[in-house]
Each structure stands twice: as C-alpha cells, then as structure tokens.
Amino acid sequence: MTDPANPDPARSFGAVADSYDRGRPSYPADAVKWLVGEEPCSVLELGAGTGKLTEVLVGLGHEVFATDPDDAMLDILSGKLPDVRATSGTAEQIPTGDSLYDVVIVGQAFHWFDHDKAIAEIGRVLRTGGRLAVIQNERDERIPWVRKLGRLIGKQDSGYDPTSILDDSGLFSAVEARTFRHWQVVDRHSIQDLVISRSNIATLDPEAQEQKRREVLAFYDGYGRGMDGMQLPYNCRAWHAQVLPHAQVASTGSATGAHEADETDDQQRASVPLAKRTDTAVRLPRVVTDPENGDDDLLIDFR
C-alpha cells in the first residue's frame, strides 16, 4: 500500500484519470505504424492507462490486450473501447501466458518499470521473432514558451532512452530508433488537465496542486490565447527491438529445471495480491463458426 505521506508517483494517476485522458496527447499514427508494422497483429500493451495509444492501435486494425496497474485508468479505456480486452496487471507480472503476442508495446510508461523483471516477462510473452516497442512523447522545449511551460509543470520523463537497458539485458536485438514530430492543441481547459495529470503534481497535497494549476493558467492567459488554443509541439520518440530466442527460454526455465522453475514462479505469483479488476475477456463475445452449417455461418458466443 502506498504511504500517504510519500505517495508512489507510478501509482498516482488513478486519482487524476479524467484529467489524464483530457489533457495528455495522443501518438502519431506514423510512429505506431513504424513500431508495430502495417499488417494487423496481436499486441500486448503495458501501462495502457486511459487508452491514448490503444485507440491508435485499434484504429490501425491491431488486436490489442490492454493492461495497466490502475483500475481507474482502465475504466476510462474500457468506456471508450468496450471491445478491447483489458485487465489489471503490471509489467513485472504480466497476466497472460507464454509466447502469445507479436508485439509488446509501452507508451509513456517504460521508465516506471523494474526493468530486470519486466524485460524477462516481456521475453516470456512474445512469440518467436516478436518485438518490444517503446514510445514516448516529449515536449519540444527548443521553443521558448514550451521551455517556460516545462519549468512550471516539470519534465521528469524528458530525454528518457531505453536503448542501454535493452542492450545490456542481452535479450533483444539491436535497438532501432526514430523520432516523429506532432502537435497537440491545448486550450484554457486542457492545459489545466495537462498539469494536473503530471505525476510530480498529482502527488502534491491539494493546496499545492491548486497553486500549480493557477500558475499554469496564468502562464497560458499571459499569451492572450483565450479559448482559441495553442499548438503544443512534441517529439514522439520511438524504439523497437526483436526478442532473441534465448530470452524466451531464460524466462520460462531450462528443460531440466522447468518444473522447479514453474513451482517457484507459482509461489512468487501467489504472494502477490490478485488484481481487483475483472479481465474484460469474460464479457467480450467470441466469434465461432458453426461446423454443421458451414464455415460461412458465424455464431456470437457471449459466455
């Protein structure tokens, strides 16, 4: 449980989930296409939050299983994307079986992970030849007014690069990286949501949060934009790497010690409290064929 006197920034977003959804930028489709590929595939999303990246993935035709440790964030995701499978889960203990996904993707969350544990888990759930994709929006603070905004709201995740972590793990191929430029329209309302959704501000006491909100609003009003909005520029940084075959072996145990490894893994998992949020797969329909009536007849099973 988080100590109220010292809240965990990584678990601070649930209390500001609505502001996060309204105030945070999406991701450019070109960046997601480069990360995941043009052909529809199975994607596991870690740290899915309110579904900013999920919406882009679904729009490109991919089958997505969205996970996040915060139920409040996932409730918003499921409200927007009711047909997407979603459940509580962490990168360090991914709630799915082995070798099931073509891509594991992480948007704006990789820096929160316990990387030794998370990378082993990612290797476990990826299919042979699958890839890990990481995407991160960073404000372009080469522009003076954006730099001033950054000083007001903080930039703790700016300049983050997972390359060395993946290289040092020995579990992935050489990392490829690209940067995509895009803009977010912010107005007098959404810029307040943007500041409130920051983890360094969400963990402040209510009086300090209100003070920071007023500072940012005064900053915005000082530019005389009113309700017309401003174009907030972002550099969307993207990385991907292919899982190596031995990563999957190492994360599931050797052939001779697989049974012992499975028992140890089960014991470790049993010591971790189960997520309270029910996997939405239990309420999503399955599409199946009727063998008696031919392959063209489809049945919808709502069990």
pLDDT band at 13 (very low <50, low <70, confident <90, very high): low
> Which residue's structure tokens are 């049974």?
259
Percent pLDDT > 90 in the chain is 55
Per-residue pLDDT tens for 63-74?
999 999 999 999
**Span 194-221, pLDDT tens digits:** 888 887 787 778 898 888 889 999 998 8
The whole-angstrom separation of Cα 21 and Cα 68 is: 14
Q: Taking the model in full, what pTM does it have? A: 0.80
**Average pLDDT across the chain, whole number:** 81
Q: Is 80 exceeded by the pLDDT of residue 223?
A: no
CA–CA dist 125, 69 (Å, integer):
18
* 283: helix, strand or coil: helix
Q: What number is the average pLDDT over the span 249-270?
A: 44
Measured between alpha carbons, how far is residue 43 from residues 108, 126, 263 in Å? 16, 9, 28
Residue range 74-133, pLDDT digits in tens: 999 999 999 999 999 999 999 999 999 999 999 999 998 999 999 999 999 999 999 999
> Would you call 254 exposed, middle or buried from its count of C-beta atoms within 10 A (0-12, 13-18, 19+)?
exposed
Q: What is the mean pLDDT of residues 171-192?
A: 94
Q: Count of CB atoms within 10 A of residue 20's CB?
A: 25
**How many CB atoms are closer than 10 A to CB 175?**
18
Q: Which pLDDT value is given to residue 240?
A: 98
Q: How confident is the model at residue 14 (pLDDT cuts 50, 70, 90)?
A: low
Contact 237, 136 (CB under 8 A): yes
Residue % of the chain over a pLDDT of 70: 75
Residue spans of alpha helices (H) in the chain: 17-23, 29-36, 52-59, 71-80, 115-125, 144-153, 163-169, 190-196, 199-202, 206-221, 245-252, 258-270
Separation CA 127–CA 100 (nearest Å): 6
Lowest-pLDDT range of 20-34, 74-88, 287-301:
287-301
Contact 23, 232 (CB under 8 A): no
Q: What is the pLDDT of residue 230?
A: 85
Nearest of 71, 20, 66 to residue 42 by alpha carbon: 66
Q: What does the pLDDT average to over 170-190?
A: 95
Reply yes or no on whether the pLDDT at 262 is more than 50.
Answer: no
Q: What number is the average pLDDT over the span 46-60?
A: 97
* Over residues 138-157, mean pLDDT: 86
CA of 169: how far to CAs of 59, 111, 123, 124, 136, in Å? 32, 15, 11, 14, 20
Torsion of CA 74, 76, 79, 84, to 10 degrees: -40
Hey, what are 277's tokens? 């949020």
CA–CA dist 79, 87 (Å, integer):
13
